Amino acid sequence: MVTALLFRSSWRFHRQHPLQLMLSMFGIILGVGIVTSVLITNHSAVRAFALSSEALYGRATHQIVAANAIPDEQAALFIRSNPSLTIAPIVESEALLNGTLITLVGLDPFRESEFARLQPNASMSDSDSNTQVGVTALLDAKNPIWASDATAERLKLSLGDPINMGELEATLVGTFRTASRAASDGLLVTDISVAQALSNKRGKVDRLEMVLSDAEANALSTTLPAQWRLQATAQRQATMQAMTKGFQINLTAMSLLALLVGMFLIHNTMTFAVLQRREVFAVKRLVGIPASGLFGIVMTEALVFSAIASLIGLLVGILIAQKLLQLTTQTINDLYFVLHVQQIHLSPWVLLAGLILGIGSSVLAATLAACEAASGSAMQARRRSAVEEKTKTLLPWLLLAGLVFLTLGAALAWFPSQSLLLGFGALMIVIMGYGLCIPWLSQRLLNLLQTVMGQTHVVVSLALGSLTSNMSRTGLAIAALAVAVSATLGVQIMIGSFRHSVDNWLTQTLQSDFYITLGDTDGTGRSSAGQTNNQWLQKLNEINGVQDISTGLVVDAVTNFDTFDLLVLSPSAISESSYEWLDTHPDGSWQMFMNEQSILISEPLANKYSLSSGSMMRLFTETDGDVAFTVAGVYRDYGSSHGRLVIRRSLYDYYWNNPRVGSIGVNVNTAADRTSTIAAVREHTNQLPIPARVRDNISIHAESLAIFDRTFSVTRVLRWLTMGVAFIGIFSALLAMHLERARDFAIMQASGGSHHQLRQIIALQSLAMGIAAGLLAIPLGLLMSEMLIHIINVRSFGWSMASTLPISAIPQTFLLALASAALAGLYPAWRLSRQSLVSELRSE
Amino acid sequence: MSQPAVEVTGITHRYNTASQRPILNDLSLSLAAGETLALVGASGSGKSTLLNLIGGLEPVQEGYVRVFNETLHDANNALRTELRRSIIGFVYQAFNLIPTLSVVDNIRLPLALAGVHKTEQDKRINRLLDTVGLTDKKNAFPDVLSGGEQQRVAIARAVVHQPALLLADEPTGNLDASTGQQVLNLLQSLVAEHNTTLLMVTHSLKVANCADRILAMNDGQLVEMNDNTDSINTW
Ligand SMILES: Nc1ncnc2c1ncn2[C@@H]1O[C@H](COP(=O)(O)OP(=O)(O)OP(=O)(O)O)[C@@H](O)[C@H]1O
Ligand SMILES: [Mg+2]
Return d(Cα B151, Cα B96) in angstroms, integer: 9
Nearest residue by C-alpha to atom 5 in ligand 1:
B15
Query: What is the pLDDT at residue A526?
Result: 47
Residue A11, phi then psi, degrees to nearest 5: -55, -45
Query: Do B113 and A755 make contact, defined as CB atoms within 8 angstroms?
Result: no
Number of domains observed in the structure of chain B = 1
Residue of B nearest to A471 (CA): B100
Q: What is the largest CA-CA distance in chain A?
A: 103
- B20, with CB counted inside 10 A (0-12, 13-18, 19+), is exposed
Return d(Cα A586, Cα A512) in angstroms, integer: 28
Residue A16 Cα to ligand 2 midpoint, Å, equals 24
- A80, with CB counted inside 10 A (0-12, 13-18, 19+), is exposed
Give one DSSP letter per residue of A130-171, joined into a string: SSSS-HHHHHHSSSEEEEEHHHHHHTT--TT-EEEETTEEEE
Return d(Cα A684, Cα A539) in angstroms, integer: 8
Three-class secondary structure of residue A567 per DSSP: strand
Query: What is the pLDDT at residue A261?
Result: 65
Query: B226 pairs with which residues across the strands?
Result: none
Query: A168 pairs with which residues across the strands?
Result: A165
Work out the angle between the directed axes of helices A755-787 and A458-469 (0-180°, nearest 10): 50
Return d(Cα A556, Cα A645) in angstroms, integer: 10
Amino acid at B75: A
Residue A547, phi then psi, degrees to nearest 5: -75, -60
Q: How far is CA B166 from CA A151, B88, B188, B194, B197, in A?
A: 85, 6, 11, 11, 6
Complex ipTM value: 0.87
What pLDDT digit, counting tens, does each position of A449-462 carry? Answer: 888 876 667 677 77
Which ligand lies nearest to the CA atom of residue A838 in the structure?
1
Query: Do A465 and B100 make contact, defined as CB atoms within 8 angstroms?
Result: yes
Return d(Cα B92, Cα B95) in angstroms, integer: 6
Torsion on CA atoms A14, A15, A20, A26, rounded to nearest 10: 100
Q: How far is CA A705 from CA A647, A699, A717, A830, B34, in A?
A: 26, 10, 19, 46, 84
Strands (E) located in A624-662: 625-635, 644-648
Distance from CA of A310 to the nearest CA of B (A): 37
Per-chain mean pLDDT for chain A: 79
Asked, for residue B169, whether it belongs to a domain, the answer is: yes
Q: Which chain A residues have a beta carbon less than 8 Å from that of B105?
A: 465
Number of domains observed in the structure of chain A = 4
Q: Say if residue A557 is in the same domain as residue A530.
A: yes
pTM of the model: 0.73
Asked, for residue B235, whether it belongs to a domain, the answer is: no
SS3 labels along chain B: CCCEEEEEEEEEECCCCCCCCCCEEEEEEEEECCCEEEEEECCCCCHHHHHHHHCCCCCCCEEEEEECCEECCCCCHHHHHHHHHHCEEEECCCCCCCCCCCHHHHHHHHHHHHCCCHHHHHHHHHHHHHHHCCHHHCCCCHHHCCHHHHHHHHHHHHHCCCCCEEEEECCCCCCCHHHHHHHHHHHHHHHHHHCCEEEEECCCHHHHHCCCEEEEEECCEEEEECCCCCHHHHC
Asked, for residue A749, whether it belongs to a domain, the answer is: yes
Pick the last residue of a domain from A382, A399, A426.
A382
Query: Do B113 and A844 make contact, defined as CB atoms within 8 angstroms?
Result: no
Does B137 contact A at CB distance below 8 Å?
A: no
Nearest residue by C-alpha to atom 24 in ligand 1:
B43
Asked, for residue B195, whether it belongs to a domain, the answer is: yes
Q: How far is CA A421 from CA A262, A792, B175, in A?
A: 22, 9, 65
Query: A7 pairs with which residues across the strands?
Result: none
Best residue of B72, B81, B117 to probe chain A, by most A CBs closer than 10 Å: B81
Query: What is the pLDDT at residue A812?
Result: 86
Q: Which of B58, B84, B94 comes nearest A752 by C-beta?
A: B84
Residues of chain A scoring pLDDT < 70: 1-3, 5-6, 113-141, 166-167, 179-180, 182-183, 239-247, 250, 253-254, 257-279, 286, 333-342, 375-389, 454-456, 458, 519-533, 726, 729-730, 733, 737, 835, 842-844
Asked, for residue A232, whether it belongs to a domain, the answer is: no
Asked, for residue B56, whether it belongs to a domain, the answer is: yes
Return d(Cα A122, Cα A134) in angstroms, integer: 10
Residue B133 Cα to ligand 2 midpoint, Å, equals 27
Give one DSSP letter per residue of A76-103, joined into a string: HHHHHH-TTS-EEEEEEEEEEETTEEEE
Pick the last residue of a domain from A319, A353, A382.
A382
State the average pLDDT over residues B145-174.
Answer: 88
Distance from CA of A348 to the nearest CA of B (A): 50
Burial per residue of A589-606, b for 16 or more beta-carbon CB atoms within 10 angstroms, e otherwise: bbebbbeeebbbbbbbbb
Best residue of B82, B85, B98, B167 to probe chain A, by most A CBs closer than 10 Å: B98
Angle CA B61–B64–B70, to nearest 5: 120
Nearest in space to A222 (alpha carbons), one of A231, A214, A210, A230: A230
Nearest residue by C-alpha to atom 17 in ligand 1:
B48
Query: What is the pLDDT at residue A266?
Result: 65
Distance from CA of B204 to the nearest CA of A (A): 21
Query: What is the pLDDT at residue A677?
Result: 86
**CB distance A804 to A500 below 8 Å:** yes
Length of chain A: 844
Give one DSSP letter per residue of A731-776, joined into a string: HHHHHHHHHHTHHHHHHHHHTT--HHHHHHHHHHHHHHHHHHHHHH
Distance of CA A34 to the CA centre of its chain: 13
Q: Which of B48, B92, B99 comes nearest A385 by C-beta?
A: B99
Taking phi over 0 as left and psi of -120 to 50 as alpha, with beta for the rest, B96 belongs to left
Residue B211 Cα to ligand 2 midpoint, Å, equals 18
Q: Say if residue A539 is in the same domain as residue A684.
A: yes
Query: What is the pLDDT at residue A576?
Result: 87
Q: Which of B55, B98, B144 comes nearest A747 by C-beta?
A: B98
Q: Which atom of ligand 1 is nearest to B203's Cα?
A: 25
Taking phi over 0 as left and psi of -120 to 50 as alpha, with beta for the rest, A625 belongs to left
Distance of CA A832 to the CA centre of its chain: 44
Q: Which atom of ligand 1 is nearest to B217's Cα?
A: 21
Return d(Cα A136, Cα A147) in angstroms, integer: 16
Return d(Cα A199, Cα A89) in angstroms, integer: 15
Does B143 contact A at CB distance below 8 Å?
A: yes
Return d(Cα B180, Cα B173) in angstroms, integer: 8
Q: Say if residue A675 is in the same domain as residue A535.
A: yes
Nearest residue by C-alpha to atom 26 in ligand 1:
B43
Return d(Cα A183, Cα A58) in angstroms, integer: 11
Distance from CA of B160 to the nearest CA of A (A): 10
Asked, for residue A442, whether it belongs to a domain, the answer is: yes
CATH number of the domain within which B207 lies: 3.40.50.300
Nearest in space to A652 (alpha carbons), one of A518, A555, A540, A581: A555
Asked, for residue A427, whether it belongs to a domain, the answer is: yes
| Domain range enclosing B52 | 6-226
Q: Say if residue A495 is in the same domain as residue A638.
A: no
Query: What is the pLDDT at residue A494?
Result: 82
**CB distance A70 to A658 below 8 Å:** no
Amino acid at A490: G
Distance of CA A675 to the CA centre of its chain: 41
Return d(Cα B8, Cα A581) in angstroms, integer: 93
Q: Which chain A residues have a beta carbon less than 8 Å from that of B97?
A: 747
The helix (H) or strand (E) run that includes residue A309 is helix A291-335
Which ligand lies nearest to the CA atom of residue B169 in the structure?
2
Q: Say if residue A503 is in the same domain as residue A550.
A: no
Distance from CA of A8 to the nearest CA of B (A): 25
| Domain range enclosing A840 | 386-510+704-844
Cβ neighbours of residue A82 closer than 8 Å, sequence gap 6 or more: A220
Q: Which of A385, A461, A751 comes nearest B157 by C-beta?
A: A751
Nearest in space to A397 (alpha carbons), one of A347, A341, A436: A436
Return d(Cα A159, Cα A195) in angstroms, integer: 19
What pLDDT digit, counting tens, does each position of A634-675 carry? Answer: 999 887 778 899 999 999 999 988 888 888 888 888 887 888
Nearest in space to B29 (alpha carbons), one of B45, B51, B14: B51
Nearest residue by C-alpha to atom 13 in ligand 1:
B44
- Using only the alpha carbons of chain A, give its radius of gyration: 33
Return d(Cα A444, Cα A722) in angstroms, integer: 27
Pick the last residue of a domain from A647, A667, A690.
A690
Residue of A nearest to B86 (CA): A752
Return d(Cα B156, Cα B111) in angstroms, integer: 12
pLDDT at B23 over 90: no
Best residue of A459, A748, A751, A759 to probe chain B, by most B CBs closer than 10 Å: A751
Asked, for residue B233, whether it belongs to a domain, the answer is: no
Residue A790: DSSP 8-state: I
Q: Say if residue A436 is in the same domain as residue A469.
A: yes
Residues with CB under 6 A from ligand 1: A 839; B 15, 23, 41, 43-49, 93
Residue A503 Cα to ligand 2 midpoint, Å, equals 75
**CB distance B158 to B95 below 8 Å:** no
Which ligand lies nearest to the CA atom of residue B39 in the structure?
1
- A325, with CB counted inside 10 A (0-12, 13-18, 19+), is buried
